Amino acid sequence: MMDYALLLRTFLLRTARYYPKKEIVSIYPEGVFRYTYREYYKRVCQLAHALKSLGIKRGDRVASVALNDNRHLELYFGVPCYGAVLHTVNFRLPQNHFVYIINHAEDRILFVDEDLLMFVEAAKDQLKTVERVVVLSHTGKMPQTSIKDIVLYDDLIKDFPEEYDFPADLNENDPAVICYTSATTGDPKGVVYSHRGLILHTYAVATTLGAAESDCILHIVPMFHANAWCAPFAAVILACKQILPGREVLNMEKLCRTIAEEKVTFTCGVPTVWMLLYDYLEKGGWHDFSTLRTIASGGSAVPRSLLVTFNEKYNFPIIQAYGATETTPMVTCALPKSYMKDWAKEDLYDVRSTVGIIAAGLEMKIVNNDGVEVKMDGKEWGEILLRGPWIANEYYKDPERSAVTFADGWYHTGDVGTIDEEGYVRLVDRTKDLVKSAGEWISSVDLENLIMSHPKVMEAAIIGVPHPKWQERPFACVTVVSGQSVTPDELKEFLKDKVKASWWIPDDFVFLPEIPKTSVGKFNKRELRRLYAEGQLMPPKAAN
């Protein structure tokens, strides 16, 4: 067979040439912007010329500090197809990390949304490698700024030719994108995505979830969060209509209107968003989900009760999936197998409340503390190890932490899980979030899900706290459904016949207005532990 490299270029050209009429829709405060792949491609070509004019060389890093919109999508293909590397910056990080990742990636150009310029403005004196700041502006106006030599993106590219001869001689293992993931301790860690990895991941997404040209994909996940799970790459590769909701992504009414008006079929998101949506729907919010076919959910678990409600009450068919920034991210999807279609509803929800079965192309093993694979019995726990062509093999310029995580040719996920006889994986916990009580492990995730299945509970996060006698004990942080109230005793009573053993029941519950979250919407247990250590999480005395 030909020695033909897997490059994004091939797919960009195919979509531009054979699907030029398909639409890209970008939602701005001023209104909805639409253009076709024909027009998109012209601007991607102009961008490539602009990168050349700025002296960007192959392999150079270029940063985006941007939301989900069409200009960001132009960077997604323009930068890698030119031969450079797009660094999708998470601007929600603390400022020291924001500065760190841009300096660490040695970004030469920084593309920033006009509404996010303050992040760059605040950090500008600490950015050591950025030579030029380019403003992605939807209003066409340059904001007030003290940054020198700044230019509007549209002005930068507008006079360049609308065709560009994208290089076909890149290596498929060349970097296309870099994205940082926050670490439990220390600086964020960079994950580099190759052309090959992005393309194989797209093929696997299409193969597993049936994503196709006929899909209309709504990008809810931020394009700086594991690159919106690389769905924008899949969408261009498959020539899908795509919707970029920009600033309006957490406006549930607008989101529901968009889904109906644009006939969205496919979307991805984290449970935090589904929680907001649930709240909106329960208040009678308008919606029409009849076009939706696939809703991939990852990042953390959707409680089973919510899965059922979404599916049955709202015709919103959530499919749980599992992955990480290090895995591009799709690893598993909880789609029932074809022969399960006649199974009883409850059994199907058992399947759908797992994180699913491994995608075709990857290898997984779940190993116990002795490195021995656990039985496929749905009971034995172990750490999930992965390998495959869209799994990272290192953290960028970070040999020390790479050596720990990518040992023996496997990615050690730090996730603890079980696998059942059908091959479905259930996440038990993060290795570091397991609670060790009297020498026995308690899964914080299992416990959280049990508590969240209480009708009055909105969210629940469990941390292990030191205990003089039992070593550690689970400690529950709970938010209550608005307008409701619940007591620790009620919750203890509720858990009694549900937990694996009575010593799983937390001694203490604290009720918070909200659970602190990480920049990507997960429970921030590090913050909860800090608050606990500082004595700020005191259980209500009355209930003890």
Annotated catalytic sites, by residue?
Answer: 181, 326, 436, 441
Residue ranges of E strands in 307-346: 318-323, 330-333
Distance CA 480, CA 486 (A): 7
Where is 366: in which H helix or E strand?
strand 363-367
Judged by CB under 8 A, which of 305, 311, 368, 393 binds a second copy? 393
Interaction mask 159-198, a second copy, x per CB under 8 A:
--------------x------------------xxx-xx-
* Least CB distance to a second copy at residue 473 (A): 37
Give the list of residues 6+ apart from residue 342 with CB closer than 8 angstroms, or none: none
Judged by CB under 8 A, which of 82, 164, 166, 390 binds a second copy? 390
Distance (Å) of CA 289 to CA 258, 260, 302, 335, 489: 10, 6, 19, 19, 39
Distance CA 106, CA 463 (A): 37
17 in contact with a second copy (CB under 8 A): yes
Please tell me whether residue 489 adopts helix, strand or coil conformation: helix
266 in contact with a second copy (CB under 8 A): no
323 in contact with a second copy (CB under 8 A): no
* Least CB distance to a second copy at residue 173 (A): 7
1 in contact with a second copy (CB under 8 A): yes
Amino acid at position 399, single letter: P
Distance CA 427, CA 443 (A): 9
Contacts 24+ apart (CB under 8 A), 440-443: 440/501, 440/503, 441/381, 442/474, 442/503, 442/504, 443/381, 443/416
125 in contact with a second copy (CB under 8 A): no
* Nearer CB in complex with a second copy: 237/450: 237
Interaction mask 202-231, a second copy, x per CB under 8 A:
-xx-xx--x-xxx-----------------
Judged by CB under 8 A, which of 285, 378, 389, 539 binds a second copy? 389
* Least CB distance to a second copy at residue 38 (A): 12
Q: At what angle do helices 304-314 and 345-352 cross, to 10 degrees?
A: 120
387 in contact with a second copy (CB under 8 A): yes
Distance CA 503, CA 440 (A): 10
* Least CB distance to a second copy at residue 406 (A): 8
* Nearer CB in complex with a second copy: 21/541: 21
Window of 9-17, 284-292, 395-403, 524-532 that interacts with a second copy by CB under 8 A: 9-17
Contact 191, 181 (CB under 8 A): yes
Distance CA 173, CA 180 (A): 19
The binding site for a second copy (CB under 8 A) comprises 1-4, 6, 10-11, 13-14, 17-19, 21-22, 173, 192-194, 196-197, 199-200, 203-204, 206-207, 210, 212-214, 237-239, 241, 328, 337-339, 357-358, 360-363, 387-393, 409, 411, 422-423
